[in-house]
Amino acid sequence: MADELQNKLVTALTSLRDQGKTPTQAVEHMIQALGGHYHDISRISVLNAKLIADVLYTVYQGKISAHEWAVLLCNMCYGGPDIALALRTTFTMLDAQAIGALLLDTQVYPESEKQQVHHALHYALHYAKFSVPECDQAVEALYSA
């Protein structure tokens, strides 16, 4: 089921890409087709952040940045752990500190939410399969700057 859904999404987004749509525009079109509300996407159990990331990677490989992905996934109401895991599995060259910095970006989490994110950042990085020492080091570096 997930493979079939992924293939359908790849086909739909490839068509949008071929029409000149940016990744953001293609996702907005997909949102409209699914009911028009970003927050509804994260509630559809089969549309997890990793699936969305895999589809975007397949269609827009090399044309979408990790930052743009983080913003899109956050706009779809995926949480920090899901965003961190999607980034980790797609942008394998990013370390814990780089992914943590993306999560702390004001376009991903507004300044007012940073203290709450601080408490969840370690969990999000660990959920993305970074080791505890990597998580500790990243959180310390990001919050001491």
Q: Which residues of 107-140 are buried (b: 16+ CB within 10 A; e: fewer)?
A: ebbeeeeeeebeebbbebbbbbebeeebbebbbe
Instruction: Count up the domains in the chain and report the number.
Output: 1
Q: What is the pLDDT of residues 33-91, one digit of tens each?
A: 777 666 566 666 667 888 888 888 899 988 889 999 899 888 888 888 889 999 998 89
Q: Which of 29-38, 88-97, 102-111 has the lowest mean pLDDT?
A: 29-38
State the residue range of the domain holding 24. Answer: 2-144
**Does the pLDDT at position 10 exceed 80?**
yes
Q: Provide the 8-state DSSP code for 7.
A: H
Q: 27 with 60: CB under 8 angstroms?
A: no
User: What average pLDDT does this structure show over 125-138?
Assistant: 92
Cα–Cα distance, 41 to 47 (Å, whole number): 7
Chain-centroid distance, C-alpha 46: 15
Q: Is the pLDDT confidence value at 107 over 80?
A: yes
Q: Decide if pLDDT at 130 tops 90.
A: yes
